[in-house]
Amino acid sequence: MNPRFSLVLLAMAGLVVAFAPLPVSFTAPQTRTFELDARQFAYSPSELHVSPGDTVTIRLVSTDVVHGIYIDGYDLSVTADPGQTATLTFVADKPGSFRFRCNVTCGAMHPFMIGKLTVGANDWLYRSIGFSILAILGLLSARPLITDY
Amino acid sequence: MELTRLPLLKSALKSRYPQLAVFIVMLVGYIFAILAGLIGTPVGSHNFSIVFVWIAWWAILILVAVPFFGRGWCAVCPIPLPGEWLQRGAVLAPPDKKPKWLNLRVPKMFRNIWLQNLSFLLLALFSSVLLTTPTITGIVLAAMLFAAIGLSMVFERRSFCRYLCPVGGFIGLYSQTAPAELRIKDKQVCAKCEGKPCYNGSDTGYGCPWDVFPGGLTKNTYCGLCMECIRTCPYDNIAINLRPFSADLAKPSAKMDEAFKAFIMLGSAMIYAGVLLGPWGALKDAAYNVGTGAWFIYAATFLGIIFVVLPGFFALALSLSPGPSPNGRGGGVRVFSSLSTSLIPLGLMFWVAFSVSFVLTNASYILAALSDPLGLGWNLFGTANAAWRPILTSMLAPAQTLALVGGLAWSAHTAQRSGHEANVSSIPVIVYCFIATLIMLWLLL
Ligand code: SF4
Ligand code: SF4
Ligand code: SF4
Ligand SMILES: [Cu+2]
């Protein structure tokens, strides 16, 4: 294949992978409440799944020292004193997968006290896998150029 | 393009003073980090040693210095300096030829990077404690300084850097991908050169402290960019060049110790991504509680992944490779080690993707630690109370994808070239890199 043609093809495929809408299963927005236990240095449950549009309430319970939660991407946070419960309510209007992490220094492994909130599907992971496949295909189609070394 | 053509750069490198100035700043910072670790607050994220070593230095090292300057960090690293100054009996003065200390040659069996592989693993197994506990960081930094001094007293040149430094091993491995190199200009000039002062020293400077003959350099791995040969070469035959990325990997020449370094680094990046940045609390507990049963299982799994799983599947993939199998004694080993160089760009980009997340979320500690380095309530620059806040979190996932997919393409390209060189199919290696990338994407995104 003409290398310039395959490059154009590759770029177009890349755009499709980046922006094509993925199938979503429409569910009516719900109200979801999670009881999130925080201890040194983990949340339980540590992975939350909600649907886009859901109204999410996180009731954070610190079981040992002061902990908090900060949600990447949503830029929301709340902290809870030992034995206390703090509540954070928001509408999950951004789809994707986000880390949430403790925002109060709570001991040695504090920087790694991390959980994961997934709103809908983790689209970006699938798109990234798509990019990986395209990158390999692109290289393989360019292989005739490389064997000339 | 030859950078040493620039007269200003050339004279800055030839003179010892600019380098000495940087050295002194670095050494002061290093000693301060040791002290801060030992006497400062035990809270890691407010202690200079943790924040400046594991956030600031690490970010600069893995995101900038190694990818763009290769061993550039080693050119300014303070760790070997006190030992080197003692060994020479001088800080700046031109060398007098009499060795002042034992000046032994390192025994042949240690002249490889296996000890560096071990020293890295030793730190890696304790990394959760090391990364978060100022006293441990202080002790490790001090131990490296004293180990370098001790080795300088016993052995010639920079034996610590060449054979023991836990950081130097992977900097050397990944420096092969950098778009900069120090090389000779003209082989003929070297062939005629009497006495080879670049290796043996002269009254203008010391023989290569890294025990490298500049005339024979074909890869960046073992040249510490100390600039001595620029000072000693009487024929001005040393150049620093800009070059394409990963030029050293075009004709791979890896030995088993270097091949395993590639697996060690690839595996560690994946394990850290899962343990430190993943949502699994039990893994973090196991990694942190050194000495418990869970930690031993963690350590055994860590070593198993690095020494058995990753190289095992790599060997398996190569053996399934279509086409004629490499014949001759050691043919398989040679193919294994030369194709393992394809994992070098992949491993580097895994580390970039892992570090970018860690660094962006914790960079805001740098401001606070600058004003209150010991966590004693000082406020030197008025930034002590800067709040913790992750920066650029919306850029994080795209940046990680870019690094990982870019690393995959870069590695696959390298595999195609080294497969061609070794006369075997590159497809199994490409599939291997693809699967590793999928795992890393799943862990990080
Ligand atoms: S090898 Fe290690 S001690 Fe030596 S200069 Fe490099 S980082 Fe510093
Ligand atoms: S001193 Fe210069 S010319 Fe002589 S061998 Fe070394 S690099 Fe070559
Ligand atoms: S003397 Fe030259 S070749 Fe040797 S480490 Fe220094 S810069 Fe590299
Ligand atoms: Cu916490």
Give the C-alpha separation, A99 to A77, whole Å: 12
CA-based radius of gyration for chain A: 21
Structure tokens at B424: 């075997």
The answer to whether the Cβ–Cβ distance between A122 and B285 falls below 8 Å is no
Q: pLDDT at residue B359 above 80?
A: yes
Q: Is B77 in the pocket of ligand 2 (CB under 6 A)?
A: no
Mean pLDDT of the region B42-64: 89
Instruction: Give contacts of A127 with chain B, Cβ < 8 Å.
Output: 401
**pLDDT at position B351, please?**
95
Instruction: Report CA dihedral (B249, B253, B256, B262) to the nearest 10 degrees.
Output: -10
* pLDDT-based confidence at residue B97 (cuts at 50, 70, 90): low
**pLDDT at position B226, please?**
92
**pLDDT at position A102, please?**
92
Mean pLDDT of the region A47-58: 92
Maximum mean pLDDT: which of B281-285, B298-302, B421-425: B298-302
| Burial class of residue B153 (count of CB atoms within 10 Å of its CB; 0-12, 13-18, 19+) | middle
Q: Is B235 in the pocket of ligand 2 (CB under 6 A)?
A: yes
Give the C-alpha separation, B335 to B346, whole Å: 18
Best mutation target among A136, A141, A145, A148 (most B Cβ atoms within 10 Å) is: A136
Task: Determine the length of chain A.
Answer: 149
Which of these, B306, B314, B319, B303, lies nearest to B340 by C-alpha position?
Answer: B314
Amino acid at A20: A
**For residue A89, what are the β-bridge partners?**
A57
Cα B235 to middle of ligand 2, angstroms: 7
CA-based radius of gyration for chain B: 22
* pLDDT-based confidence at residue B88 (cuts at 50, 70, 90): confident
Chains A, B: CB contacts under 8 A, how many? 116
Which of these, A143, A124, A105, A50, lies nearest to B401 by C-alpha position?
Answer: A124
In DSSP notation, B19-61 reads: HHHHHHHHHHHHHHHHHHHHHS-S-GGG-HIIIIIIIIIHHHI
Is A64 within 8 Å of A39 (Cβ atoms)?
yes
**pLDDT at position B219, please?**
92
- Quote the strand ranges of B311-410, DSSP E: none
The answer to whether the Cβ–Cβ distance between B404 and A132 falls below 8 Å is yes
Report yes or no: A64 at the B interface, CB cutoff 8 Å: no
Give the C-alpha separation, B115 to B165, whole Å: 8
Computed over every residue of chain B, the mean pLDDT equals: 89
| Burial class of residue A147 (count of CB atoms within 10 Å of its CB; 0-12, 13-18, 19+) | exposed
Cis peptide, bond prior to residue A41, ω within 30 of zero: yes
Cα B161 to middle of ligand 1, angstroms: 5
**Which residue has 């441990």 as its token pair?**
B136
Q: pLDDT at residue B96 above 80?
A: no
DSSP A70: E
Determine the Cα angle at A73 with ends A72 and A76, to 5°: 65
pLDDT for B246-290, tens place per residue?
A: 888 887 777 889 999 999 999 999 999 999 999 998 999 999 989
**pLDDT at position B330, please?**
59
* pLDDT-based confidence at residue A1 (cuts at 50, 70, 90): low
With b for 16 or more beta-carbon neighbours within 10 A and e for fewer, the B313-328 pattern comes to ebeebbeebeeeebee
Closest chain B residue to A116 measured between Cα atoms?
A: B279
How many angstroms away from the CA of A132 is the closest CA of chain B? 5
Q: pLDDT at residue B87 above 90?
A: no
Is B62 within 8 Å of B352 (Cβ atoms)?
yes
**pLDDT at position A50, please?**
93
Which of these, B246, B225, B268, lies nearest to B117 by C-alpha position?
Answer: B268
**pLDDT at position B10, please?**
86
Atom of ligand 3 nearest to the CA of B211: 4
List Cβ neighbours of B304 (8 Å cut-off, separation of 6 or more): none
**pLDDT at position A148, please?**
38
ipTM entry: 0.89
Amino acid at B145: L
The answer to whether the Cβ–Cβ distance between A112 and B434 falls below 8 Å is no
Return the number of other C-beta atoms located less than 10 Å from residue B86's C-beta.
15
Give the C-alpha separation, B282 to A42, whole Å: 8
* pLDDT-based confidence at residue B150 (cuts at 50, 70, 90): very high
Between B307 and B44, name the one with better pLDDT: B307
Cis peptide, bond prior to residue A45, ω within 30 of zero: yes
Q: pLDDT at residue A146 above 60?
A: no
* Nearest bound ligand to the CA of residue B182: 3
Which of these, B80, B92, B117, B341, lies nearest to B211 by C-alpha position?
Answer: B80
Give the C-alpha separation, A39 to A113, whole Å: 9
Tell me what percent of the residues of chain B surpass a pLDDT of 90.
56
Give the C-alpha separation, B221 to B282, whole Å: 38
The answer to whether the Cβ–Cβ distance between B129 and A112 falls below 8 Å is no
Question: Which of left, alpha, beta for B433 (phi over 0: left; psi -120 to 50: alpha)?
Answer: alpha
* pLDDT-based confidence at residue A25 (cuts at 50, 70, 90): low
pLDDT for B215-248, tens place per residue?
A: 999 999 999 999 999 999 999 999 999 999 988 8
Q: pLDDT at residue A107 above 50?
A: yes
Q: pLDDT at residue A31 above 70?
A: yes
The answer to whether the Cβ–Cβ distance between B412 and A111 falls below 8 Å is no
Atom of ligand 3 nearest to the CA of B227: 7
3-state helix, strand, coil in chain B (%, to 5): 65, 5, 30
By Cβ distance, the residue of A108, A114, A138 closest to B44 is A108
How many angstroms away from the CA of B45 is the closest CA of chain A? 8
Mean pLDDT of the region B298-320: 93
Amino acid at B365: Y
How many angstroms away from the CA of B445 is the closest CA of chain A? 6
The answer to whether the Cβ–Cβ distance between A42 and B43 falls below 8 Å is no
Q: pLDDT at residue B327 above 60?
A: no
Q: pLDDT at residue A45 above 60?
A: yes
Q: Is B189 in the pocket of ligand 2 (CB under 6 A)?
A: yes
Best mutation target among A41, A131, A141, A147 (most B Cβ atoms within 10 Å) is: A131
**Ligand 4 ion: residues within 5 Å (CB):** A 67, 102, 106, 113
Instruction: Give contacts of A97 with chain B, Cβ < 8 Å.
Output: 397, 445
Q: pLDDT at residue A126 above 50?
A: yes
Q: What is the reported pTM?
A: 0.93
By Cβ distance, the residue of A42, A114, A132 closest to B408 is A132
Which protein residue's CA is at the shortest distance from atom 2 of ligand 2? Answer: B233
In DSSP notation, A104-144 reads: S--STTGGG-EEEEEES--HHHHHHHHHHHHHHHHHHHTHH
Give the C-alpha separation, B16 to B247, whole Å: 29
pLDDT for B14-27, tens place per residue?
A: 888 999 999 999 99
Report yes or no: A144 at the B interface, CB cutoff 8 Å: no
Is A108 within 8 Å of B129 (Cβ atoms)?
yes
Q: pLDDT at residue B328 above 70?
A: no
Cα B167 to middle of ligand 1, angstroms: 7
Cα A111 to middle of ligand 4, angstroms: 8
Cα A102 to middle of ligand 4, angstroms: 5
Instruction: Give contacts of A79 with chain B, Cβ < 8 Å.
Output: none
